[in-house]
Amino acid sequence: MAPWEILLLLLLGIHQLQCGTVTAWETTCSGAVPARQRAETISITEFGAVGDGRTLNTWPFRKAIYRIEHLRRRGGTTLYVPPGVWLTGSFNLTSHMTLFLARGSVIKATRDAWNWPLMDPLPSYGRGREFPGGRYKSLIHGNGIRDVIITGENGTIDGQGDVWWNMWRQRSLRFTRPHLLEFMHSRNIIISNVVFRNSPFWNIHPVYCSNVVIKSVTILAPHDSPNTDGIDPDSSSNVCIEDSYISTGDDLVAIKSGWDEYGIAYGRPSSGITIRRVTGSSPFAGIAIGSENSGGVSNVLVEDINIFNTGIGIHIKTNTGRGGYIRNITFLDVRMNTVRKGLRIAGDVGDHPDNKFNPNAVPVVNGVTIRNVWGVNVQQPGSIEGIKNSPFSQICLSNVKFWGVGKQYMSWKCMHVSGATSGVEPWPCAELARFPASGLCSNAL
């Protein structure tokens, strides 16, 4: 066994609960949001649904959830989806309900775009993410609800996204593509033991939410599928993502908080985000922060991550005009195999919703700790490139080691950054002082 393999195995046992001022929710988020037992169970078949993969079941889903909402059984109701393929258009969830997908069940999105309602833009984005104006509602949507569980026996939610990907490639879309699952202004949400497949756009998007646990999910989309992010916590707090596998066409997990002047005005940060024991592959990034960070992102803990066949392992990205901040971010125990770049922290990434952004709204990136990160078959170790008028500060790397392909020479690229390093191979750059550095990042390293 090679030395790096031994070291990687040793790292598998490392789980630190605290780094700097970021504290984990214990070693699991189970129990952080109560998993309530429902007093009543109803089946989608009671409302005329047919699971033959051809019959459109939009109205049965809507009728079932209308019944749950208005009868208000004490303790809530479980909507049971039995084995079968249940074709449907978009439908809304309600409070105090569990959507349970049995083994062998597939909730499959219709391919007919006219069956997808349009929604107003998110206020923190000012427009649809792809096009000015509205956006298509997600396949499964919740707004202003609480105490909701989506779970089962690894049943599947299939977005049949190829029709949307093709429209995107052909530039025939008029509005922003729908997500597979979106919660807005909601709290106390649990998503577990479900497979998400072939989303038209982002897969799971909690926005303006709090107390969200996403665990033991599988998210799949082809690597050439455009913008199929796995999980995007957005202007949300107290979010935990753990024990999941993600292989998609874009970032596996991307933390966001609004876009340029609209995100600054809305002012809803993302904070208290925990990501642990996630494995995955993507042509873009493994774990990302940004580039939409205008409401601010803080207090993020990422630990025990396995990334393979990926573009960038860790990607923190922002841009002039974003404003906001990225601070108190900790990455622990990240393992990479076959990535183009191990680490990138950049101040020149991402486009703008319009030309009304303030060029003087520069983001602040401060307090990023990256510890116990190992990568093999890494083409380039990394780059840390801050903004001239707002240098990135307290960027602290400890025990970060990247091995290249064969005997290729690898070098870092750094500018407009300050911080400290300890045990980094190859050594990054003169801008980051070798540890110990008096008073600099001492808590982190």
User: Is 429 within 8 Å of 413 (Cβ atoms)?
Assistant: yes
Does 250 participate in catalysis according to the annotation?
A: yes
> 414 is written with which tokens?
């750094």
Amino acid in position 228: T
Contacts of 108 (CB under 8 A, 6+ apart): 53, 85, 86, 87, 88, 158, 160
User: Is 232 within 8 Å of 262 (Cβ atoms)?
Assistant: no
User: Is 317 within 8 Å of 311 (Cβ atoms)?
Assistant: no
- Residue 223 CA to residue 243 CA, distance in Å, equals 21
Contacts of 284 (CB under 8 A, 6+ apart): 249, 250, 251, 310, 311, 312, 315
Check 250, 251, 260, 333 and give the catalytic one. Answer: 250
User: Helix, strand, or coil here: 264?
Assistant: helix
Beta bridge partners of 401: 374, 425
Dihedral sign, Cα of residue 424, residue 427, residue 429, residue 431: positive
∠ CA 432-362-382, nearest 5°, is 35
* DSSP assigned state of 137: P
CB count in 10 Å sphere of residue 12: 11
Amino acid in position 297: V
> 146 is written with which tokens?
């609480």
DSSP line for 175-193: SBPPPSEEEES-EEEEEES
Amino acid in position 265: A
User: Is 340 within 8 Å of 302 (Cβ atoms)?
Assistant: no
Q: Is 52 left (phi over 0), alpha (psi -120 to 50) or beta?
A: alpha
> 228 is written with which tokens?
């199929």
Catalytic residues: 250
